[in-house]
Structure 1
Amino acid sequence: MKTLEQLVRPNIKSLKPYSSARDEYSGEEAIFLDANENPFNAPYNRYPDPYQRKLKKRIAEIKAVSSDRIFLGNGSDEAIDLAFRAFCEPGIDNVLTIDPTYGMYQVAADINNIETRKVKLNADFNLDVNGLLAAADENSKLLFICSPNNPTGNSFKRADIITLLEKFEGIVILDEAYIDFVPEKSFLNELLNYPKLIILQTFSKAWGMAGIRLGMAFASPEIITVFNHIKYPYNINQLTQDKALELLKSEDAKDKWVEVLLKQREIMAEKLTGYPFVQKIYPSDANYLLIKTAAPKDIYHFLVEQNVIVRDRSSVSLCEGCLRITVGSEEENKALFDGLDRYNG
Structure 2
Amino acid sequence: MFDINKILRPNIKNLTPYSSARDEFKGEASVYLDANENAYGSPLDKDYNRYPDPMQYQVKKRLSEIKGVPPRNIFVGNGSDEAIDILYRAFCNPGVDNVIIVPPTYGMYEVSANINDVELRRVPLTEDYQLDVDAIAERIDKNTKLIWVCSPNNPTGNSINRADVETLLANFSGLVVVDEAYINFSRQKTFIQELTEYANLVVLQTLSKAWGLAALRVGMAFASEEIIEVMNKVKPPYNVNEASQQLALEALANVDKVNGWIKETLSERDKMVLGIKDLDFVLDIYPSDANFILVKTTDANGIYNYLVQHGIIVRNRTKVELCEGSIRITIGTPEENVKLIETLHSYKG
TM-score (norm 2): 0.97
Over residues 138-158 of structure 1, what are the superposed CA-to-partner deviations in whole Å (9 max), with x where a residue is unaligned?
000000000011111110111
Q: Report 1:107-146 matches (<5 A).
A: 107-146=111-150
- Displacement, 1:341? 2.1
Does 2:283 correspond to 1:279?
Answer: yes
8 A Cα contact 2:22 2:54, kept in partner: yes
Match of 2:96 in 1: 92
Match of 1:208 in 2: 212
Partners in 1 of 2:165 and 2:58 — Cα distance? Answer: 32
For 1:342, the aligned partner's letter is S
8 A Cα contact 2:80 2:205, kept in partner: yes
Partners in 2 of 1:11 and 1:225 — Cα distance? Answer: 15
Partners in 1 of 2:336 and 2:78 — Cα distance? Answer: 28
8 A Cα contact 2:208 2:218, kept in partner: yes
- Displacement, 1:250? 2.1
Match of 2:200 in 1: 196
Which of 263, 266, 281 is the aligned partner of 1:262?
266
- Displacement, 1:30? 3.3
- Displacement, 1:169? 1.6
Partners in 2 of 1:127 and 1:2 — Cα distance? Answer: 22
For 2:336, the aligned partner's letter is E
Secondary structure of the corresponding residue to residue 198 of structure 1: strand
Over residues 115-166 of structure 1, what are the superposed CA-to-partner deviations in whole Å (9 max), with x where a residue is unaligned?
0001011111111011111110000000000001111111011111100000
- Displacement, 1:31? 1.4
Over residues 247-276 of structure 1, what are the superposed CA-to-partner deviations in whole Å (9 max), with x where a residue is unaligned?
111200110000000000000001111211
Does 2:152 correspond to 1:148?
Answer: yes
Match of 2:339 in 1: 335
Partners in 1 of 2:76 and 2:261 — Cα distance? Answer: 23
Q: Report 1:1-345 matches (<5 A).
A: 1-41=1-41, 43-345=47-349
For 1:37, the aligned partner's letter is E
- Displacement, 1:2? 4.2
In the comparison of the two structures, how many residue pairs are matched? 345
8 A Cα contact 2:80 2:204, kept in partner: yes
Secondary structure of the corresponding residue to residue 144 of structure 1: strand
Partners in 1 of 2:254 and 2:241 — Cα distance? Answer: 22
For 2:254, the aligned partner's letter is S
Secondary structure of the corresponding residue to residue 123 of structure 2: strand
Q: What runs of 5+ residues in structure 2 fail to find an aligned partner?
A: none
Over residues 57-109 of structure 1, what are the superposed CA-to-partner deviations in whole Å (9 max), with x where a residue is unaligned?
00110000000000011110000000000000000000001011000000000
For 2:172, the aligned partner's letter is F
Over residues 14-46 of structure 1, what are the superposed CA-to-partner deviations in whole Å (9 max), with x where a residue is unaligned?
001110000000123431111111112264111
Partners in 1 of 2:336 and 2:221 — Cα distance? Answer: 32
8 A Cα contact 2:129 2:158, kept in partner: yes
- Displacement, 1:5? 1.1
Secondary structure of the corresponding residue to residue 120 of structure 1: coil
Secondary structure of the corresponding residue to residue 99 of structure 1: coil
Identity %: 53
Partners in 1 of 2:251 and 2:338 — Cα distance? Answer: 28
For 1:236, the aligned partner's letter is V
- Displacement, 1:298? 0.3
User: What RMSD in Å do the two structures reach over aligned CA positions?
Assistant: 0.9
TM-score (norm 1): 0.99
Partners in 1 of 2:52 and 2:213 — Cα distance? Answer: 20
Over residues 176-213 of structure 1, what are the superposed CA-to-partner deviations in whole Å (9 max), with x where a residue is unaligned?
00100112210111101111111000011111111111
Partners in 2 of 1:299 and 1:152 — Cα distance? Answer: 18
Partners in 2 of 1:268 and 1:24 — Cα distance? Answer: 53
Secondary structure of the corresponding residue to residue 164 of structure 1: helix
Worse-superposed segment, 76-85 or 41-50: 41-50
Partners in 1 of 2:157 and 2:187 — Cα distance? Answer: 14
